[in-house]
């Protein structure tokens, strides 16, 4: 009798070990498939580009080649920078908020212009004179033939 119970303990241990291996392997399969599916989903999302139509409506532009929409993205980027940087109200916090948002879209040269304007007292004069400055961008022309790209803004 004792040997039979020992044999039952041995078989139960084998069954528990087998069950544990099966559970761990299933968890590994689920984890690997989740990673693969999320990578596939992320790749599909990279093909989608959202474009603002004059800042009003949101359009979805699907593209097989992302370089097709680069010119539209670049023009919108430059247009938004100029609107944020040069549209000023006579409120110091509003000016600072717009300048901070504009500087995110630009390189160090925009910060240098901002520093020059601050040193010359440009923003203080706008606040003191209660002046509202609004920039409407007519068009943006970008040259993508040479790097660094040159953009001209007509406003």
Is the pLDDT score of 13 beyond 60?
Answer: yes
User: What is residue 1's predicted lDDT score, i.e. its pLDDT?
Assistant: 44
Close Cβ partners of 6 (under 8 Å, ≥ 6 residues apart): none
Q: Report angle CA 149, 85, 61 to the nearest 5 degrees.
A: 55
Identify the three-state secondary structure at position 100: helix
Q: Integer distance in angstroms from the first to the last C-alpha of the chain?
A: 98
Query: Mean of the per-residue pLDDT values for the chain?
Result: 84
The token duo for 111 is 């910060």
pTM value is 0.59
Is the pLDDT score of 87 beyond 50?
Answer: yes
Any idea which of 3-17, 91-105, 120-134 has the lowest mean pLDDT?
A: 3-17
Q: Are 139 and 154 in contact (CB under 8 A)?
A: yes
pLDDT in tens, 25-74: 999 999 999 999 999 999 888 777 666 666 555 555 555 556 666 787 88
Q: Are 140 and 67 in contact (CB under 8 A)?
A: no
User: What is residue 75's predicted lDDT score, i.e. its pLDDT?
Assistant: 86
Q: Residue 17: phi, psi to the nearest 5?
A: -65, -45
């Amino acid at each position: 009798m004792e040997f039979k119970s020992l044999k039952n303990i041995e078989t139960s241990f084998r069954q528990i070990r087998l069950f544990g291996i099966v559970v761990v392997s299933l968890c590994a399969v689920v984890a690997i498939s989740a990673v693969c599916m999320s990578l596939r989903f992320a790749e599909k999302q990279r093909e989608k580009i959202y474009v603002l139509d004059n800042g009003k409506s949101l359009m979805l532009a699907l593209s097989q080649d992302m370089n097709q929409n680069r010119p539209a993205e670049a023009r919108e980027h430059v247009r938004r920078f100029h609107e944020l940087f040069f549209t000023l109200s006579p409120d110091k916090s509003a000016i600072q908020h717009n300048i901070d948002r504009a500087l995110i879209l630009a390189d160090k040269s925009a910060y240098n212009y901002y520093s020059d304007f601050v040193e010359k007292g440009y923003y203080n004069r706008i606040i003191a004179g209660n002046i509202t400055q609004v920039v409407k961008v007519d068009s943006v022309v970008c040259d993508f033939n040479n790097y660094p790209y040159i953009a001209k803004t007509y406003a």
